[in-house]
Structure 1
């Protein structure tokens, strides 16, 4: 990529309009980067079924994450489970819009979406949050939780591997399949999600809530009895880690466009100098 094209790309990406959920090509949100067909619909449905199955298993399979049967309800207090639930919802929505698009294309023999509908915007927000959260949760778990657990002789359950590594692998691989765009400014969606969880953790602590093994905090890093340390972790996650992860996702998105541009030029349009918009996908 030339220096001039890099400058154009940056100028386009950091335009204030990219704070919004508008997009000139709604087809990107219902199809794969390389084209659309029944294979993509099947891909979406299978992943939705997988995530639904896995999130159910994470709550019902008995292992050492809780100390008593009554504490299993505390599955709902953990950021991991919030984030995997949102990932599952995102997968279900993506499957639904792909099916809807497929049916409409067959019925009308053409393009089904001419504008960004409310449900496409909703799908984009949830996709942004779930993708970012999956990477952040995986990094926090393997970086902060696992070392002391292994040092204490603990074991890693396969459910934990799925919810703290499988989620990230899914997101990082799916970004090369889907045609959904990534916007740097949309880190705000994930930062807001992180802030909501942090507020929940504070309220839960004030109400003397305990974790699933009767600890006085949800996570030791968010022990609000030690507010200074908890606040530092909170700021680092919501205002540093989340934006950085969004930049990584954006970089992978640009890599996807470059790869498809080389291998499948029809899937990535040319820069339109008259409208100054990037036609990132063209239906076959």
Structure 2
């Protein structure tokens, strides 16, 4: 038992797992409990999740406009996070729709020895979005939030629902989690840090 665990860990830590090679590719368009290649229920789930996060982004923009804060909308990591949630779930829904309604495409993918680039991009986005959502939720509620900040629907949607729904999505999907892929959200975090340093060095403000 221990030997198998150690062997599994060694295999997971191989450098080749830094990349996006994974077969069968159909695991990116199905749930882990799905027995058939296609499922209308998984398609509806993907569409519902994409619509939900699109609504969250629209609501956050409306709130920012009403408060006169839209000019600063894109400087916050929270908004980067929910925009990524929207983009990732929309791409996931599109991939499942194409898989469901274009059998010639799904057949081509199933017969290929290489995963499509669209699937690789989606995998990377999902990795970044998941970790970013968890970090945003923990940092906000554990460090930034105070009694003067309202716990209104918008606050819950962008600082809690993002993490909850992305984590639930991780449980539902069939494709694996790679340890080396943690480098992707770390890189994204560094990009945001560089952006913030440049922004504030150029006399940018958050108000």
Q: Same fold (TM over 0.5)?
A: yes
Partners of 1:22 and 1:116 within 8 A in 2: yes
State the alpha-carbon separation in 1 of the partners of residues 2 and 166 from structure 2. Answer: 30
Determine whether 1:155 maps to 2:150: yes
* Kept after mapping to 1: 8 A contact 2:20/2:120: yes
How far off is 1:154 after superposition? 3.5
Give the SS at the match of 1:52. helix
Q: Is the 8 A contact 1:101 1:112 kept in 2?
A: no
Coordinate RMSD, CA, aligned: 1.9
Change (3 A) 1:17 1:52: same
Mapped partners of 1:159, 1:109: distance in 2? 38
Higher relative contact order (CA 8 A, sep 6+): 2
Aligned residues: 202
Bigger proportion of residues as helix:
2
TM-score (norm 1): 0.67
Q: How far does the alpha carbon of each residue in 1:186-217 deviate from its partner, in whole angstroms, 9 at most, with x for none? A: 11111110000000100111111111xx3xxx
1-side partners of 2:154 and 2:105: how far apart?
Answer: 43
Alignment of 1:170-185 (within 5 A): 170-185=165-180
Paired residues of 1:104 and 1:112 also in contact (CA < 8 A): no
Tell me, in whole angstroms, the C-alpha distance in 2 between the residues paired with 1:189 and 1:197: 13
* Aligned positions of 1:70-89 closer than 5 A: 71-89=69-87
1:51 to 53, 58, 64: 53
Shift of 1:185: 0.3
CA contact (8 A) 2:64 2:73 kept: no
Task: Tell me how far 1:109 sits from its aligned partner.
Answer: 8.5
2:109–2:115: 8 Å Cα contact kept in structure 1? no
> Where do 5+ consecutive residues of structure 1 fail to align?
215-284
Question: Radius of gyration: which is bigger?
Answer: 1
Other structure's SS at 1:46 match: helix
CA positional deviation for 1:73: 1.9
